[in-house]
Structure 1
Amino acid sequence: MNIEIKKFSELSLAELYAILQLRSEVFVVEQDCVYQDIDGKDAEALHVLGTKNGKIVAYTRCFAPGYYFPEAAIGRVIVKESERKFGYGHEIMKTSATAIFENYNTSNIKLSAQQYLIKFYESHGYQCIGEGYLEDGIPHIAMIKD
């Protein structure tokens, strides 16, 4: 998998379309969750795109401290279902943390994790904080890494 980091203004129309298509495929259809994915925040994010054979198969968006949370943030963590067995989620998370450090000079990162992925995020140094909550009908928990 090849990984690129781009600002919103650097995304091609085809890349933006592929990102939105993948997010809809997983978060709306696969997880059977009706929610507003296009939330007006993409323009402020760094977009981390994992491609394989010219197709986006993994993705995150990252935010500077103070935009989404007081800490830097990683969100919309996604790997195409057919590609999950290759460890791309780990690769995209490592690259996202590096991108945050290089662009925002911090390694203090917060995310809102789907609870079934707690062990995955713990393997990247995140710790649960607070109580779990429902976000769009799916159990989540806040996690942070210093």
Structure 2
Amino acid sequence: MSVRVLTVGFDGLAPRTAYDVWRLRQQVFVIEQDCPYPDLDGRDLEEATRHVVLLEDDAVLGTLRVLDDGDWARIGRVVVAPSARGRGLAGLLMDEAMAVCGAREVRLDAQTGLTGFYAAYGFEVTGPEFDEDGIMHVPMTRNAGRPRP
């Protein structure tokens, strides 16, 4: 089985794929990480938002979204299914996200333990650590024009 990457706006998501994306985000962020938060925040529907979805056959293995925040892009909701972890799939997600973002400045809020992962993509910590829903995060930025790895 081969993993394929789907990169689309909201209207490009098949209904079953969209359902599986939101179910995976709920499974990991709300249930596994015990962080009840409003996942369906309206940003998935924005015209400029790009959903990056990893599929194996029809199963969603991972996903993230790239938001347009004006002068910069924002990567968020980065998640890999528990059953698919350890296969380098987060790297596939980030490779595609970096291609979507191009040379723009990119921002994200990284769980503190993942700063090294994002640093490999040119991100640098740009502020103090903060608690988001009981999990420590740091803001990170990849400056515009910085080459991708």
Where does residue 95 of structure 1 map in the other structure?
96
2:32 to 8, 30, 34: 30
Where does residue 66 of structure 2 map in the other structure?
62
> Normalising to structure 1: TM-score of the pair?
0.90
Note if 1:117 corresponds to 2:114.
yes
> Normalising to structure 2: TM-score of the pair?
0.89
Where does residue 16 of structure 1 map in the other structure?
18
Cα distance between partner residues in 2 of 1:107 and 1:24: 29
Where does residue 6 of structure 1 map in the other structure?
8
Cα distance between partner residues in 2 of 1:123 and 1:110: 14
Q: Single out whichever of 129-138 and 17-26 deviates more from structure 2.
A: 129-138
- Listed as ranges, the matches of 1:37-52 within 5 Å are 37-44=39-46, 45-52=49-56
Cα distance between partner residues in 2 of 1:137 and 1:110: 21
2:43·2:67 contact (CA, 8 Å) conserved in 1?
A: no
User: Which structure 1 residue ranges, 5 or more long, are not aligned?
Assistant: none
User: What do you get for the CA RMSD once the two structures are aligned?
Assistant: 1.1
Cα distance between partner residues in 2 of 1:84 and 1:118: 18
Q: Which one has the bigger helix percentage?
A: 1
Note the C-alpha offset of 1:53.
2.5
User: Which structure 2 residue ranges, 5 or more long, are not aligned?
Assistant: 144-149
Cα distance between partner residues in 1 of 2:76 and 2:22: 14
Where does residue 123 of structure 2 map in the other structure?
126
How many percent identity over aligned positions? Answer: 33
How many pairs does the alignment contain?
A: 139
